[in-house]
A and B are shown apart, each in its own frame.
Chain A
Amino acid sequence: MAGPPQKKQKREEKQKDGELPQKKYYRQRAHANPFSDHDLKYPESPAAMDWAQHYPAFAEPQSANSDAIATPRAMTKQVQVADIGCGFGGLLFALAPRMPETLILGLEIRTSVTEYVQEKAKALRVQHSVAGADESASKAVVAQHENATANPQHGLYQNVSCLRANTMKFLPNFFHKHQLSKIFLCFPDPHFKARKHKARIVSLTLASEYAYVLQPQGRVYTITDVEDLHHWMVGHFAAHPSFERVAKEEEEGEKEDECVSVMRTETEEGKKVERNKGKKFVAVFTRIEDPEWP
């Protein structure tokens, strides 16, 4: 079993600063048990989360007093878009330039895959920093860093990051109530066996948690190539009083939500399904305002 360490070594050998990571060194088994403890790091509450390390360009300039070490640095913006189970991050990197002022976070439970996305984000930031992509990598890093604090005109991909998490358990540890405007659930593990259905990323009870972190009128986007799973997800969200499926025209056709088309074509799995000539099933749900107390 010399597989993983060798892979890891290769990763470090091959990759230079500002160079895109190679997927083949980051492959990992496509399933994870969401009920297991793993060895996760998560903040005890959203307030304790240090977002500045993920989005340095959007952090408030460090204040002079050294008290700041105890509490995480304040941010100019909060994460608004979450891609749960982002995989190799195809959707993240497609969305990032389209909404450069919105913070986008990918959440992935597999360690190596998370590392890949983090490396890719780092490389893309260097390549697209304002200082110019042609300069030497080390210079670009410095320039980008200065840009980040001094100049709001930062380069692209500063708004995208990824972290390892089990969102089925720890979503409220990362996000405040009504913080997010969009949640993407793209090509989730279908868990075909009936006794594994509880491990699916969509359930009636989990929908309550998605509703908690979503702002009213926020949206959940789902896509899968497994028809059975599509019906499952539609069934559970439709049965939840906080969600309402959006009109067909927005899911496909003329009025299509831009995010839907990106999700169809830009996700890594989406491309794979395209190659296989498989079907893609899309559903979009709006989060309804909470009802008045009875």
Chain B
Amino acid sequence: MAHPFQCITSISSDNGSCLLAACGSKILSVKLDGTVASEWSAEAVLQSNSAENDDEEDKRPAKKQKTAPVQAIVAASPNVIKLVVSPNQEHVVAITDDKAVRVFSIDADFALNELSQRVMPKRPCAIEVLPDNATILCGDKFGDVYSLPLVASPINGGNEAVNSAPQPTAVQPSTFKPSATTLTVHSGRNRLALEQQMKQKNLTAKSKEPLKFEHKLLLGHVSMLTDHTFATREIDCKQRGYIITADRDEHIRISRGPPQAHVIEGYCLGHTEFISKICLIPGTDLLVSGGGDDWLGVWEWPSFKLRRKLDIRAAISGLGSEETRVAISGLWIAPAVNIDDGMPETVLVATSEQTPALFCMATKSLLEEDSTFTTVEIPKSPLDLTCIDDELLLSLDERTTDSPRLQAYRLTVDASDMQTTVLASRSQETETKLAEANKSPSSKVEEKPLNDLLYGIANLRKRGDASAPDEQTAE
């Protein structure tokens, strides 16, 4: 069984273009002449410090031990879960499911060279490099968004001011002292517990080690964070940055960009199910959001107004597949060509988990009253998508070795009719170039862990009845 490419992205520089594809714990860089330029594997890197990890785990209190064996398995080969490229196409940032943010430089021959790995306190779920090409924005499942310098610099002993996330708890006495006193505790059982604590003298404080690299906590949700994006607007000839964050509890929050990320400008509210992806429409003030609702929201985000709901449930049920519940797994902006005048256009592409189709709509018709999605059926469920020049490369959940895991499409926009439609055609030429990447050997993999890796979005849906223990799943 072959392991599909769970994330793909691309780099375009003066030297041409290159596809980066993550397969389990490996990242391949594939030049568009068909050769594999480099192959990087997360396994090798982790072995060097796995001993250190073990030490740490031994010290853990008894209560946490039930998670320890699970971590050990994961640590064996951390899968790549996110892959992004800096705007200047010089660096690649990957998240692996051992909570590490890994930064790579790319050389002229598109070979990856790992510069740093920084283990975050919680597993990151969204990442991007800001337009300054120097800062990483990294959000984790626990709802916190951090900024990290792209090129890591360790914190020196005397330079603690750099860690500007104020953590009043960081300065803890070395001996444990119960913060409750006989005056605060009321119930009999609590009093007993306190007495026990008082008897146990000189317990060493179990405070978490502070992160050893420069980072800054910008903002946070109590709800589970699912996606974030950085937007800029020009006002009075000055660029203003905004951080837009989305969470499982139906919020889209718009905060100011650093250094004023503590100011919340507003919320785009209206979703009634989880939000899993948000996507800015370039050249406009529009933001598209999707998740568990039957529709995608088109927001005018600077004024927090919902301009339109795009029915996507109808498009999904039109496929006749079993899964008709919406679980948006991706929103992208893809290039296209106008069929009449050959002018460049852009198309919004949406995918839903376990649904073998792309749902396309020309961005210029997003607000047109009767525009609907064009459904492009594909052989298997899409996993990730990237664009090189005017082509769209697609990673499919293809687990047999005889069918390609990567496909290429060209999109055209037909606006001649009353309704603007999108046409898609396979690009055979590019696909032959991808043949080698498609054939590249992959690690053995079981069905179940692979499904867990690829499909997590539908699980965000809340169960109507009992209260789901969120905290445990997030840990």
The answer to whether A45 touches B465 (Cβ under 8 A) is no
The answer to whether B222 touches A206 (Cβ under 8 A) is yes
Distance (whole angstroms) from the CB of A50 to the closest CB of chain B = 16
The answer to whether A172 touches B251 (Cβ under 8 A) is yes
Residue in B169, B217, B221 whose CB lies within 8 Å of A197: B169
The verdict on B317 contacting chain A, using a C-beta distance below 8 Å, is: no
The answer to whether B184 touches A225 (Cβ under 8 A) is yes
* Residues of chain B from 331 to 371 with CB closer than 8 A to chain A in the complex: none
Q: Is the interface of B mostly helix, strand, loop or mixed?
A: loop
**Binary interface encoding of chain A residues 194-207 relative to chain B, with 1 for a CB under 8 A from any of its CBs, else 0:** 10011000011111
Distance (whole angstroms) from the CB of A35 to the closest CB of chain B = 4
The verdict on B271 contacting chain A, using a C-beta distance below 8 Å, is: yes
Contact stretch, chosen from A125-133, A229-237, A250-258: A229-237
The answer to whether B179 touches A227 (Cβ under 8 A) is yes
* Residues of chain A from 170 to 190 with CB closer than 8 A to chain B in the complex: 170, 172-173, 177, 190
The answer to whether B270 touches A194 (Cβ under 8 A) is no
Distance (whole angstroms) from the CB of A208 to the closest CB of chain B = 5
Q: How large is the interface on B (under 10, 10 to 19, 20 to 34, 35 or more residues)?
A: 35 or more
With A34-B222, A37-B463 already in contact, the answer to whether A209 and B183 are too (CB < 8 A) is no
The answer to whether A208 touches B206 (Cβ under 8 A) is no
Contact stretch, chosen from B21-29, B72-80, B252-260: B252-260
Residue in B178, B219, B267 whose CB lies within 8 Å of A172: B267
Kindly state the separation between the CA atoms of A225 and B181 in the bound complex, as whole angstroms. Answer: 9
Please name all residues of chain A whose beta carbon is closer than 8 Å to the beta carbon of B180 when the two chains form the complex: 190, 192, 226
The answer to whether B169 touches A290 (Cβ under 8 A) is no
The answer to whether A239 touches B166 (Cβ under 8 A) is yes
Kindly state the separation between the CA atoms of A220 and B471 in the bound complex, as whole angstroms. Answer: 28
Distance (whole angstroms) from the CB of A249 to the closest CB of chain B = 25
Please name all residues of chain A whose beta carbon is closer than 8 Å to the beta carbon of B255 when the two chains form the complex: 208
The verdict on B467 contacting chain A, using a C-beta distance below 8 Å, is: yes
Please name all residues of chain A whose beta carbon is closer than 8 Å to the beta carbon of B37 when the two chains form the complex: none
Distance (whole angstroms) from the CB of B191 to the closest CB of chain A = 11
Kindly state the separation between the CA atoms of A231 and B166 in the bound complex, as whole angstroms. Answer: 13
The answer to whether B219 touches A205 (Cβ under 8 A) is yes
The answer to whether B471 touches A236 (Cβ under 8 A) is no
The answer to whether B269 touches A172 (Cβ under 8 A) is yes
The answer to whether A232 touches B262 (Cβ under 8 A) is no
The verdict on A16 contacting chain B, using a C-beta distance below 8 Å, is: no
* Residues of chain B from 235 to 276 with CB closer than 8 A to chain A in the complex: 235, 238, 240, 249-251, 253, 255-256, 259-260, 262-264, 266-267, 269-272
The answer to whether A232 touches B169 (Cβ under 8 A) is yes
The verdict on B142 contacting chain A, using a C-beta distance below 8 Å, is: yes
* Residue of B with least CB distance to A269: B186
The verdict on B220 contacting chain A, using a C-beta distance below 8 Å, is: yes
* Residue of A with least CB distance to B180: A192
How many residues from A make CB contacts under 8 Å with B? Answer: 53
The verdict on B469 contacting chain A, using a C-beta distance below 8 Å, is: yes
The answer to whether A37 touches B462 (Cβ under 8 A) is yes
Please name all residues of chain A whose beta carbon is closer than 8 Å to the beta carbon of B256 when the two chains form the complex: 293
Residue in A36, A46, A239 whose CB lies within 8 Å of B470: A36
Distance (whole angstroms) from the CB of B237 to the closest CB of chain A = 12
Please name all residues of chain B whose beta carbon is closer than 8 Å to the beta carbon of A209 when the two chains form the complex: 264
The answer to whether B169 touches A39 (Cβ under 8 A) is no
Distance (whole angstroms) from the CB of A88 to the closest CB of chain B = 14
Distance (whole angstroms) from the CB of B56 to the closest CB of chain A = 15
Please name all residues of chain A whose beta carbon is closer than 8 Å to the beta carbon of B166 when the two chains form the complex: 204, 235-236, 239
Please name all residues of chain B whose beta carbon is closer than 8 Å to the beta carbon of A9 when the two chains form the complex: none
The answer to whether A194 touches B468 (Cβ under 8 A) is no
The answer to whether B179 touches A190 (Cβ under 8 A) is yes
* Residue of A with least CB distance to B179: A228
The answer to whether A293 touches B238 (Cβ under 8 A) is yes
Residue in A37, A208, A232 whose CB lies within 8 Å of B219: A208
Residue in A197, A206, A212, A276 whose CB lies within 8 Å of B186: A276
Please name all residues of chain B whose beta carbon is closer than 8 Å to the beta carbon of A33 when the two chains form the complex: 467, 469-471
The answer to whether A293 touches B260 (Cβ under 8 A) is yes
Please name all residues of chain B whose beta carbon is closer than 8 Å to the beta carbon of A146 when the two chains form the complex: none
Please name all residues of chain A whose beta carbon is closer than 8 Å to the beta carbon of B291 when the two chains form the complex: none
The answer to whether B143 touches A36 (Cβ under 8 A) is no
* Residues of chain A from 234 to 292 with CB closer than 8 A to chain B in the complex: 235-236, 239-242, 272-273, 276-279, 290-291
The verdict on A211 contacting chain B, using a C-beta distance below 8 Å, is: yes
The answer to whether B266 touches A169 (Cβ under 8 A) is no
Residue in A204, A205, A212, A239 whose CB lies within 8 Å of B143: A205
Could you name 10 residue pairs across A and B whose Cβ atoms are closer than 8 Å? A37-B468, A39-B465, A169-B223, A172-B267, A194-B169, A206-B222, A240-B262, A278-B181, A293-B235, A293-B238
Given contacts A44-B250, A172-B267, 18 further A-B contacts (CB under 8 A): A35-B471, A35-B474, A36-B470, A37-B463, A169-B221, A169-B223, A169-B249, A172-B251, A194-B206, A203-B220, A205-B143, A239-B166, A239-B168, A241-B262, A242-B262, A276-B183, A291-B263, A294-B260
- The residues of A with any CB-CB pair to B shorter than 8 Å are 33-39, 44-46, 168-170, 172-173, 177, 190, 192, 194, 197-198, 203-209, 211-212, 225-229, 231-232, 235-236, 239-242, 272-273, 276-279, 290-291, 293-294
